[in-house]
Structure 1
Amino acid sequence: MLASFFDHYLPVVIYLLEFMGVVVIVITATKAFGIYLKGVLSRHIEDDQIKTDFSKGLGMSLEFLLSAEVLKTIIIHTKDELMVLGIIMGLRIIVGFLPQLMHSGGFKKPSIFKKAA
């Protein structure tokens, strides 16, 4: 009974979560590009703010996508599917942490320009 419920309705929930993740990516990318384009036209680009907003949006979308991957573990049938799912989840977790590392100072490159005081 419960297995048939999962087989019928869980894929719909998974696709819905994946769709929400894609929508968040599209909206975030469009918004970031709009802010960037506005900055280019006005010759005043706030690069750090664009990167911060964009990485927050990508992080949110990865939460939706990762939750869909977790739900996929319920309907896995073979070891090969489980291995592929594990690799995908690992990559999504790594990609989810990269923006946080970049903004926390883990990957800061020295700048040749001095910041105005």
Structure 2
Amino acid sequence: MDLHHYLTLFIPNLASLIEMVGVIIVVYGVIRSIILFIFAGGNLMVSDPKLDLAKALSYSLEFKLAAEILKSVIIQTLDEFVILAAIVILRVVLTYVIHWEIESSEKSEAIEHRNLSDRFKKKGH
């Protein structure tokens, strides 16, 4: 038997395992965000639950993308390639959008923290 045969037996199972890790991260992130949201008193303006969930989704997408890259090793038809390419492009775009959201949330949080700090200093003097 050749190496390709062993890869076609091994890679789908390995990719499924990696995708399951991604699913576990999403579930963990959702539960953690719900808890943070409840402790924030249901305030939608608090960025911690949103930022925490965005980071979990981003991290999960990295695992999902890794699984898709592994699957690319055993592609045999052009149709499989097109489907895989579409999935990879979609996941890369989602990852980019989530990273952008995380960065903009962190920047706005830093600006808000700096403004509060400046106000506190002015009141103290």
TM-score range, shorter chain: 0.7 to 0.9
Match of residue 59 from structure 2: 60
Q: Identity percentage over the alignment?
A: 27
Over the aligned positions, Cα root-mean-square deviation in angstroms equals 2.3
Q: CA deviation at 1:97?
A: 1.0
Structure 2 equivalent of residue 26 of structure 1: 27
Larger radius of gyration: 2
Q: Residue in 1 aligned with 2:102?
A: 103
Which AA in structure 1 matches 2:55? K
Report the equivalent of 1:3: 4
After TM superposition, the structure 1 stretch with the greater mean CA deviation from structure 2, 12-21 or 52-61, is 52-61
CA contact (8 A) 1:28 1:58 kept: yes
Q: Pick closer, same or farther for the CA change 1:89–1:44 going to 2, 3 Å.
A: closer
Which one-letter code corresponds to 2:9 in the other structure?
H
> CA offsets, 1:21-54, max 9 Å, x none?
00000000111011102222xx667721222211
Report whether the alignment pairs 1:78 with 2:96.
Answer: no
Partner of 2:46: 47
Q: TM-score, normalised to structure 2's length? A: 0.77
Q: Give the TM-score of the pair, scaled to structure 1.
A: 0.81
8 A contact 2:40–2:46 mirrored in 1: no
> Could you give the per-residue CA deviations for residues 68-95 of structure 1, whole angstroms, max 9, x where no partner exists?
0001111111101100110110000010
Distance, in Å, in 2 between the alignment partners of 1:29 and 1:97 is 20
For 2:76, the aligned partner's letter is H
Which ranges in structure 2 are unaligned for 5 or more consecutive residues? 106-114, 120-125
Equivalent residue pairs, number: 108
Q: Which structure 1 segments of 5+ residues have no match?
A: 107-114
